[in-house]
C-alpha cells in the first residue's frame, strides 16, 4: 500500500515526515423503499426493504425505535444478506418513532442512526385497538366489584388476549395466560396485583391496558 507523507520543518536543517494512512471510503447508503418515509404501520415488526447497491450482497441495518421524545424501545445493529429485513424484536408497545439506516456492510461505515430523522412510525392501534371498560366482577354473580374475575369489552378486531399479572410494587410477574373470552380468573394472591391485557388481532398485537386487582379474600 502506498503511503502519503506529511512533512513539517522542525529546523532549517531537518524535517520530520509522518506517515499518513489514506482515509477509508465511506460505505454507500442504500435507498429504503419500505416502509415509506413518514408512513404509519400497524405491525410491531414491519418488513424493511431497500434497493440493491451495485456489487453489494451484504448490508448493515441500523435501527432504533423509541417512544416519541421518550425512552428507547428497541435497538438493532445487524448485518444481513439480501435486501429485506424483519426486526428481531417488537418495535413498539403501542406507538413508536423509528430511525433507520441501511448501508453496505463494509469497515468504517457510518454509525449515525441516532442522528437520523424518524423514518416511519409504528401505531399498533391501527389494526388492533386496545380493550375497553376493564372491570372486576364476582365470579359467581357476575356483578361488578370485588376481587373476582377480570372482565373487559372486546375490540372489533380482537381474536385472543394475552394476560399478565404483576406484583405490587416490584413489578415481578406472578402469572401469565391467554384466552379467547372477554373475562379471566386471576390467581389467588393475598396482596394486590396489576394486570395487563393485550389483544391479538390475527398476527397483529395491540397495546396493553393496565388495571389494579384487589387482594384476594
Residues 119 and 136 grouped into a single domain: no
Q: Is residue 15 part of a domain?
A: no
Phi and psi angles of residue 102, each rounded to the nearest 5 degrees, phi first: -120, 125
pLDDT digits (tens, 9 = 90+) for 89-115: 999 888 899 999 999 998 776 678 888
Phi and psi angles of residue 115, each rounded to the nearest 5 degrees, phi first: -90, -5
pLDDT digits (tens, 9 = 90+) for 136-153: 865 544 454 455 789 999
Q: Which domain holds residue 70?
A: 32-123
Pairing of strands 120-123, 95-104: antiparallel
Cβ neighbors of 208 (< 8 A, separation 6 or more) are 93, 94, 130, 196, 197, 198
pLDDT band at residue 19 using 50, 70 and 90 as cut-offs: very low
pLDDT band at residue 125 using 50, 70 and 90 as cut-offs: confident
pLDDT digits (tens, 9 = 90+) for 21-48: 333 457 899 999 999 999 999 888 999 9
Indicate whether 126 pLDDT > 90. Answer: no
pLDDT band at residue 2 using 50, 70 and 90 as cut-offs: very low
Domain with residue 54: its CATH number is 2.60.40
Residues 108 and 188 grouped into a single domain: no
Give the end of a domain, one of 123, 153, 188.
Answer: 123
Compare 58 and 217 and report the one with higher pLDDT: 58
Domain with residue 147: its CATH number is 2.60.40.10
**pLDDT at residue 41, rounded to an integer:** 92
**pLDDT at residue 147, rounded to an integer:** 54
User: For residue 152, what is the enclosing H or E element?
Assistant: strand 149-153
Q: Is residue 49 part of a domain?
A: yes
Q: Is residue 162 part of a domain?
A: yes
Number of domains in the chain: 2
**pLDDT at residue 6, rounded to an integer:** 42
**pLDDT at residue 214, rounded to an integer:** 81
Indicate whether 9 pLDDT > 70. Answer: no
Amino acid at each position: 500500500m502506498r503511503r502519503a507523507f506529511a512533512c513539517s520543518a522542525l529546523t532549517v536543517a531537518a524535517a520530520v515526515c509522518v506517515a499518513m494512512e489514506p482515509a477509508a471510503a465511506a460505505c454507500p447508503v442504500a435507498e429504503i423503499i419500505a416502509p415509506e418515509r413518514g408512513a404509519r404501520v400497524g405491525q410491531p415488526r414491519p418488513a424493511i426493504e431497500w434497493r440493491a447497491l451495485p456489487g453489494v450482497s451484504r448490508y448493515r441495518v441500523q435501527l432504533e425505535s423509541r417512544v416519541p421524545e421518550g425512552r428507547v424501545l428497541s435497538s438493532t445493529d445487524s448485518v444481513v444478506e439480501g435486501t429485506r429485513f424483519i426486526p428481531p424484536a417488537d418495535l413498539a408497545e403501542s406507538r413508536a418513532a423509528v430511525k433507520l439506516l441501511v448501508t453496505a456492510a463494509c469497515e468504517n461505515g457510518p454509525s449515525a442512526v441516532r442522528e437520523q430523522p424518524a423514518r416511519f412510525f409504528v401505531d399498533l392501534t391501527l389494526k388492533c385497538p386496545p380493550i375497553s371498560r376493564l372491570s372486576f366482577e364476582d365470579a359467581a354473580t357476575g356483578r361488578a366489584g370485588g376481587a373476582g374475575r377480570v372482565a373487559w369489552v372486546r375490540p372489533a378486531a380482537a381474536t385472543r388476549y394475552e394476560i399478565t399479572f404483576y406484583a405490587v410494587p416490584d413489578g415481578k410477574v406472578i402469572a401469565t395466560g391467554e384466552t379467547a373470552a372477554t373475562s379471566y380468573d386471576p390467581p389467588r394472591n393475598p396482596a394486590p396485583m396489576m394486570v395487563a391485557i393485550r389483544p391479538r388481532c390475527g398476527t397483529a398485537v395491540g397495546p396493553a391496558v393496565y388495571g389494579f386487582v384487589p387482594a384476594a379474600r
